[in-house]
Copies of this chain bind each other. A is one copy, B any other.
Amino acid sequence: MEAKKDLQEKLDYLREMYEKLIPFDRLLGIEIDTLTLTDIKIRIDMREELIGNFIRGMLHGGVISSVLDLTGGLIASVELVKHLENVEPDEVARRVARVGTIDLRVDYLRAGKGVYFTASGTVLRKGNKVAVIRTELCNDQNLLIAAGTGTYLVG
């Protein structure tokens, strides 16, 4: 029961971090749609400022890579905090702040058209030093817009 409460506090901290504390995430306007230990979904609504191709009205490739990068980082952070027990909130913040992207590949598969987009991912490798996360961005029609694979430093 204590452990459950403890875990929920960590997830709440991650939500606050991604939605309020990280300035560039606020500039992008990302929202955390779902955040549990097993299911994580990020949402971003289309707006004029996020456009790259102004002739065709498509999401900028940089918005796509940003969202895939931060989705992978959030998934890697959840994997990390899962295994942190009996640790003070300050220590959780310190550990999460050290999670960093080592490298990222993004494949741009379809034109980034849509009213909103959602990103999710799966853990391909989870070690005590490095995690590899595969991510996907879909539009509101559930069409796959882009796919990513990122390597993250986690310890």
Question: Which residue of the partner chain B has the closest CB to A23?
Answer: B51
Copies of the protein in its oligomer = 4
Assembled-state Cα–Cα distance A39/B115 (Å): 35
A-side binding surface: helix, strand, loop or mixed? mixed
Question: Which residue of the partner chain B has the closest CB to A72?
Answer: B61
Q: 8 Å CB contacts to B: which residues of A129-155? A: 129-130, 132, 134, 144, 147, 149, 151, 153
Residues of B within 8 A of A52 (CB): 22-25
Interface magnitude class on chain A: 35 or more
How far does the Cβ of A118 sit from chain B's closest Cβ, in whole Å? 17
Task: Check if A106 sits within 8 Å of B144, measured CB to CB.
Answer: no
Task: Check if B55 sits within 8 Å of A97, measured CB to CB.
Answer: yes
